[in-house]
Structure 1
Amino acid sequence: MGSSDPSRHSLTAPAFGRPELLAQALTHRSAGSPHNERLEFLGDALVNLFIAEALYARWPQVDEGALTRARAELVRESALASIARELDLGPRLTMGPGEMKSGGHRRDSILADAVEALVAAIYLDAGFEACRAAVLPWFEPAMAALPPPHKVGKDAKTRLQEWLQGRQKPLPVYTLLSESGEEHAKQFRVRCELLQPPLATEGEGGSRRAAEQIAADAALALVDPPRGAR
């Protein structure tokens, strides 16, 4: 593949022996054929295999349920969209005028599909081992940040609530601070306030629920920081 840093995989055509695969991976169906939906299908299977294999090796004593929840956490739409933004895929997407005008290049679902399609394009161009070597580093930060296996799959609001209940402390209060943006690109800002210990955090997201989760995660980081940060 020719990239010295696989976590920052080169998306220029010369990095591919078959540059048409890269072009197809970054073409949304709104732009016509060939588009990336078939590649997305293949890439989804590859990503799930790579992550399953990595988790199996990383957590040798963990049962199937926790492994399944951890994989779901790592390959969920928002996680893949975050990788797409790290790789700056949005501006590189080829889309129809309507989809581009509506902000499709910023939409999580489209970005996540593009990541899966890109994985398949790398696989078809360079083979299984090269693809795995290029793709796994994209997931490494999120994999390293996973909570302990018994907590995987619980969202931040649930974990914060359990932490507070376990110490007989009052539950958090979530307050909507602002709602802005056009209908297709709403942004919500929420405050999460704790009474014991007294603190408040804020979160911003594309839905009120997402903003609450971000605020709860920020509160958790203060009251129950990761082991390595203590």
Structure 2
Amino acid sequence: MSSSRRSARHDAVQRPVTELARILHDKTGADVDEELLQRGLVHRSYSYENGGVPHNERQEFLGDAILGLVVTDHLYHAHPDLPEGQLAKFRAAVVNSRALAAVAREIDLGSFVLLGKGELSSGGRDKDSILADTMESVIGTVYLCGGVAAAARLIHDLMDGRIDASAELGAGLDWKTSLQEVASAAGLGSPHYTVQEQGPDHDKVFTATVLVVGEPVGTGIGRNKKSAEQLAAEQAWRRLKEHTGTGA
């Protein structure tokens, strides 16, 4: 989904929970209770403005634990010779707000979230922190409805590519470091980043472009400069890996 289409969707009325329940069923085979899922989409800002209706932080707490278990189990069995410290670094490269926000955007999760007026007016539907927390809440909801197996199917469907890529990242376990290493190994020199910003101070959007030997190879859009550059570096890293076959 393009950034303009995503922004338009995020400015629209919240999408019905039945749509998300259908998406989750297609990915997991689980029948997701819509009332429970609705609660899993309630941000604390909405709860505060609407008489203290139940919000999603308990489901988020549960989903965080299930996510960590599934990713750890996958890494443990996929890399039987690696020490605990390296496995922990791989897990940290996947189980973080930026990665979770990215997979949340893939299912347009922000358009389902219930937010207070302040968060809505400041672009809350596309904030990494809110998207990541809501993604964990959705994982927790799927677990409550379908058990570990259903939650694991959702996590693997959304995150397997990132889990596998974590093992190829460089020593810094971040995309900018890894792109630097791949570009250097291919004799392409150091990547260069340009960043543009749009919007008022309270709701800025940053667009980063990364150039390698003067050519744009990746673009990222984020709520701050750092996240935009990381997203641009990830896109560029994948393209260079595909075209050069160079290891990180």
TM range (shorter): 0.7 to 0.9
1:125-144: CA deviations, max 9, x gaps?
22223322333222112223
Correspondent of 1:203 among 202, 219, 223:
219
Residue 132 of structure 2 is aligned to residue 116 of structure 1: no
- Taking the aligned partners of 2:153 and 2:162, their CA distance within structure 1 comes to 16
1:168-210: CA deviations, max 9, x gaps?
875444344x221222432334444445xx6444533322233
- Taking the aligned partners of 2:162 and 2:188, their CA distance within structure 1 comes to 30
Instruction: Give the partner amino acid of 1:148.
Output: E
Normalised TM-score (structure 2): 0.73
Residue 40 of structure 2 is aligned to residue 25 of structure 1: yes
C-alpha contact 1:84 1:112 (8 A) present in aligned 2: yes
Counterpart mapping for 1:29-178 below 5 A? 29-32=44-47, 33-148=53-168, 151=170, 153-163=172-182, 170-176=189-195, 178=196
Correspondent of 1:188 among 206, 214, 237:
206
C-alpha contact 2:166 2:173 (8 A) present in aligned 1: no
Change (3 A) 1:220 1:36: closer
Change (3 A) 1:4 1:100: closer
Instruction: Give the partner amino acid of 1:27.
Output: V
Q: Is there any run of 5+ residues in structure 1 with no aligned partner, and where?
A: none
Correspondent of 1:179 among 165, 189, 197:
197
Deviation of 1:215 after TM superposition, in Å, equals 4.0
Instruction: Give the partner amino acid of 2:221.
Output: G
Which has the higher Rg, Structure 1 or Structure 2? Answer: 1
- Could you tell me the percent identity over the aligned residues? 35
Q: Which residue of 2 aligns with 1:212?
A: 229
Deviation of 1:217 after TM superposition, in Å, equals 4.0
1:62-108: CA deviations, max 9, x gaps?
12122111111111111111222222221111222222222212211
Deviation of 1:36 after TM superposition, in Å, equals 0.3
- Taking the aligned partners of 2:147 and 2:101, their CA distance within structure 1 comes to 24
Q: How many residues align?
A: 221
Change (3 A) 1:43 1:217: closer
- Taking the aligned partners of 2:181 and 2:23, their CA distance within structure 1 comes to 44
- Taking the aligned partners of 1:31 and 1:104, their CA distance within structure 2 comes to 11
- Taking the aligned partners of 2:23 and 2:35, their CA distance within structure 1 comes to 22
Q: Is there any run of 5+ residues in structure 2 with no aligned partner, and where?
A: 1-20, 48-52
Change (3 A) 1:65 1:6: farther
C-alpha contact 1:51 1:71 (8 A) present in aligned 2: yes
- Taking the aligned partners of 2:216 and 2:114, their CA distance within structure 1 comes to 42
Deviation of 1:220 after TM superposition, in Å, equals 4.0
**In angstroms, what is the RMSD of aligned CA positions?**
3.3
1:3-33: CA deviations, max 9, x gaps?
798673589xxx32x4321111111112222
Query: Which moved further from structure 2: 40-49 or 216-225?
Result: 216-225
Instruction: Give the partner amino acid of 1:107.
Output: K
